[in-house]
Amino acid sequence: SPYHHLFFANGFAYVPKPYEPFAPVSGPHLAIFLPNLTTPQYVNVREGELPPGAIGAGTEATDSAFWFDAYSTYAACDNKGPTTCDFTVTGYRWDDASQKETTVATQQTLIKPCPAQGDCSLTEIIFNDDFHNLSMISFDARYNGENAANLPSDIFLLDNLKLAWFNNSCAAGAVRESGKL
């Protein structure tokens, strides 16, 4: 995991330029999601596994010290066109009653294809106000006209994902620093 307090689904990796035609917004690398490294089967959140394309609290989803607010990201799809990419971001929150993470926010953005090799820009996505108090956030890209939920996401890239702790109290910080993950 690139960040020691959150879990990342299998399939996320960092890639340097010039692997992708997109210049990073921050730092020398981009996060890329490669769906062929994941399995769309059931995942066990209790063991820290996340659904494909997700980032979250994993085994600590029940503890609000690991919940976060999501503000924005830069994204791109590995799509040369001609169709646009339907990029969906979904926010989840742990629900004690159902004992699972439930959807609390969804936002869709259409991202233009990048037909030229090189010199393409990432698209900034500013999340709506419902993306707060989350235990998990997931990303899904569709650019081949396949919108079936049981199909794996297409390849996408992320950079500069802006998150902040929902519970920023000293007590919550101490829990996070205690090395529970």
Q: pLDDT tens for residues 115-169? A: 876 678 899 999 999 999 999 999 999 986 666 555 678 889 999 999 999 998 9
Helix, strand, coil share of the chain (percent; to 5): 10, 40, 50
Q: For residue 145, is it within any domain?
A: yes
Question: What whole-number distance in Å separates Cα of residue 79 and Cα of residue 116?
Answer: 10
**Which pLDDT score, from 0 to 100, does residue 103 have?**
97
- Scanning the structure block, which residue is given the tokens 């090395």? 179
CATH at 169 = 2.60.120
Spatial contact of 162 and 132, defined as CB atoms under 8 Å apart:
no
Q: For residue 165, is it within any domain?
A: yes
Q: For residue 110, is it within any domain?
A: yes
Q: For residue 37, is it within any domain?
A: yes
Is a pLDDT exceeding 70 seen at residue 2?
no
Q: For residue 62, is it within any domain?
A: yes
Closest by Cα among 79, 140, 134 to 108: 140
Q: For residue 2, is it within any domain?
A: no
Question: How buried is 134 (Cβ within 10 angstroms: 0-12 exposed, 13-18 middle, 19+ buried)?
Answer: buried
Residue 7's pLDDT band (boundaries 50, 70, 90)?
confident
Express each pLDDT in 10-54 by its tens digit: 888 888 766 667 888 887 888 999 887 555 544 555 455 788 899
Express each pLDDT in 56-92 by its tens digit: 998 899 999 999 999 999 999 988 888 899 999 999 9
Q: Which domain covers residue 84, as residue numbers? A: 7-177
Q: For residue 1, is it within any domain?
A: no
Question: What whole-number distance in Å separates Cα of residue 177 and Cα of residue 147?
Answer: 40
- What pTM was computed for the model? 0.87
Looking at residue 76, its amino acid is A
How many structural domains does the chain have? 1
**Which pLDDT score, from 0 to 100, does residue 131 have?**
98
* Residue 5 CA: distances (Å) to CA of 2, 48, 61, 139: 9, 12, 11, 19
Q: For residue 167, is it within any domain?
A: yes
**Which pLDDT score, from 0 to 100, does residue 109 have?**
96
**Which pLDDT score, from 0 to 100, does residue 164 have?**
94
Burial 76-103 (b: 16+ CB within 10 A, else e): bbbbeeeeebbbbbbbbbbeeeeeebee
